[in-house]
Structure 1
Amino acid sequence: MKRRLERQDGPQTTAKPRKNGVVCNEPPCANDYVSLELYSSHVSQFHDNVCCACGKNFVYQRILDLHLEECHDPFRDSDSQLKCWHAKCRDQFPTHALRIEHLQRTHHYPSSYDFDIIYKGYVTT
């Protein structure tokens, strides 16, 4: 469930052109300058995977899908298993802590990784 802003005459953007770049005003950006060379990857990273329910940003579609399932699915019960973040991995876990342990041990995530990103989204600083 991606958020897409569209008008009848095509995609809508709040980016304002500047010399060799644009100023992006689309949340979570606030007047952030983005060079033209990086604009496509900027949009992909910060604006393509936004939760329609809470507006939080997710860098990857898979994390957005799991966020929607774990945080906004009204039919999900407290006994539901948490899925691994990797689409090809079928492991499931009863707790977030066990999922983190799996991500570190099996998929080699560093201990410094922000594992709560699935609940709070990607926050720019």
Structure 2
Amino acid sequence: RHYDQAHRNVCSVCRAILPSAHWLDLHIQEHHDAFFSARVARGEKAFACFLPACTRVFSRPQKRKLHMIDKHHFARSFNWSLVRSGLRSANSADVDRLASAFQRSVSFGRHGTQSRMQRPQNN
């Protein structure tokens, strides 16, 4: 568990600790990729949804935030800077705090169906 939390999803540029590989990819693209910055400057949709199963991409982080709240039921109080700054440390309190920000029922907006997000089992 410690290795997964502290070493697996760490940015090699700024050492930010991210909660998953998807979040690490988003972090690297949005904060260390010059091509991403150029796309944003041209007004292209470049800000991907925080959930890997959702393929929506947005032109501004604010639009992504509204999508996350409206479609995936994220709390308005969610730490929206997480993709930029990462977790402060890799202790379980940070991971648990992140997990509690997600509601159990996540809607992907397809014909009223819902998917269930569950915390991974530690083996």
Q: TM-score range by the shorter chain?
A: 0.5 to 0.7
Q: How does 1:11-30 map to 2 (within 5 A)?
A: none
Task: Please name the residue that 1:121 is paired with.
Answer: 86
Q: TM-score, normalised by structure 1?
A: 0.62
- TM-aligned CA deviation for residue 67 of structure 1: 0.7
Choose 77-86 or 107-116, whichever is displaced more.
77-86
5+ residue gaps in structure 2?
95-123
Gaps of 5+ in 1: 1-40
Report if aligned partners of 1:51, 1:64 keep a CA contact under 8 Å in 2. Answer: yes
Point out which structure has higher relative CO (alpha carbons under 8 A, 6+ apart): 2
Alpha-carbon separation, structure 1, partners of 2:29 and 2:68: 19
**Is 1:82 equivalent to 2:65 in the alignment?**
no
In the other structure, the counterpart of 1:59 is 19
- Shift >4 Å, 4+ stretches: none
Query: In 1, distance between residues paired with 2:69 and 2:47?
Result: 15
| Structure (1 or 2) with the larger CA radius of gyration | 1
Give distance in 1, aligned partners of 2:22 and 2:7: 15
Please report how far the alpha carbon of residue 86 of structure 1 lies from its aligned counterpart in structure 2 after TM superposition: 1.4
Deviation of 1:43 after TM superposition, in Å, equals 2.2
CA displacement at 1:94 relative to structure 2: 1.1
Q: Percent identity at matched positions?
A: 28
How many residue pairs are counted as aligned between the two chains? Answer: 85
- For 2:26, the aligned partner's letter is L
**Is 2:10 aligned against 1:50?**
yes
| 1:44 CA displacement | 1.2
Structure 1 residue 75: Cα displacement: 1.9
Distance between the aligned counterparts of 1:97 and 1:89, measured in 2?
17
Q: How far off its partner does 1:42 sit?
A: 2.6
* Equivalent in 71, 93, 97 of residue 62 of structure 2: 97
